[in-house]
Amino acid sequence: MKTIAVLCYPDCQILDVTGPLQVFASANQALEKDFYQIKVIGLTADPITTNSGMRLLPDTVFDEVPELDTLLIAGGRGVASQRENQALVGWIKQQAGTVRRIGSVCSGAFLLAEAGLLQGKQVTTHWRCCDLLSQDYPDLNVDFDAIWIKQGRLYTSAGVTSGIDLALALVEEDCGHSVAMDVARELVVFIKRPGGQAQYSTQLQAQQQATGTVAKAISYIEQNLTSELNLEQLADHCCVSERHLFRLFKESISQSPAAYIEDCRLNLAQQLLVEGTLSMQQVADGCGFIVPDNLRRVFIRRLGVTPSEYKARFISSQQGTDS
């Protein structure tokens, strides 16, 4: 049995803890046996108050932990004060020499960096924290886009829910692709994203910036990607003129409606291709490109590779960014 533990501390991000641990718990269900033993590690035996206000009861204290297979470090606002906790930082450094794998979720990367484990390595964290991580630890190669990155036995992942992606990748390493996909389906994760896929998508940026009419149009686009979409149709749905809607898009998200639609379809196509189970015709249909030739033209123009080449790049490694 492999013991998987997540280190928690006051004001950590609760999803950094529960997301990955649920993946391993669901893997046990998929395997119909206790392949993983799951533990929550605290600084003390007291309940840990997370960023949500919900409390977690630790299974053990960090300096009394039994032998571990995999150690993950949660992120969250509380990481700032824990960077000054020399006993904890020293323990993390010590664990790195004994565990089979060690990794971070979100801003947990700061604790790995403080322990000197990330020097000269390619790493990632939540996109909001990338600049600070680069500034505080200039010897790191911080990737602002990656969902997760593997560097030998060391893993870093992006913000919050990307911890689920990292955990799925670890399950895939241990149990195979089919088990990882079973877990993804059980958790209703749309797709098991590879490490190299961008964490800060066009849609996320647009959702943050768009309001009012543009937000309404974006919602309609995202719900109807497989249908024919054009400016006239969107303007009619939003009860504005085509010219006015075009101007609002440019002002709000610096894109035309047509460009945003193509971005959404391209992003969805990338995800479906990585899944690896659909034909090119099915991918084209599922994204609204209709025919594989349209899909191919957009991939070459936007990414410089064909859909088949893009698929092969991820499927061949199955580990995203692995060095």
Residues with active-site annotation: 106
Please state at what angle helix 177-186 crosses helix 14-31, rounded to 10 degrees.
Answer: 120
H/E segment holding residue 6: strand 2-7
Helix, strand, coil % in the chain, rounded to nearest 5: 50, 15, 35
Q: Which two tokens stand for residue 199?
A: 């964490």
Question: C-alpha distances in angstroms, 95 versus 44, 101, 161, 174, 296?
Answer: 18, 9, 25, 20, 47
Sign of CA dihedral 127, 148, 288, 299: positive
Count of beta carbons in the 10 Å neighbourhood of residue 247: 13
CA dihedral 213, 219, 224, 226 (to 10 degrees): 110
For CA atoms 10, 13, 16, 21, give the dihedral sign: positive
Report the alpha-carbon distance of residue 249 to residue 297 in Å, rounded: 25
Q: Report whether 96 contacts 102 (CB < 8 A).
A: yes
CA atoms of 68 and 86, how far apart (whole Å):
21
Between the two ends of the chain, the Cα-to-Cα distance in Å is: 27
What whole-number distance in Å separates Cα of residue 58 and Cα of residue 81?
A: 19
Q: Which residue's structure tokens are 């992606």?
A: 165
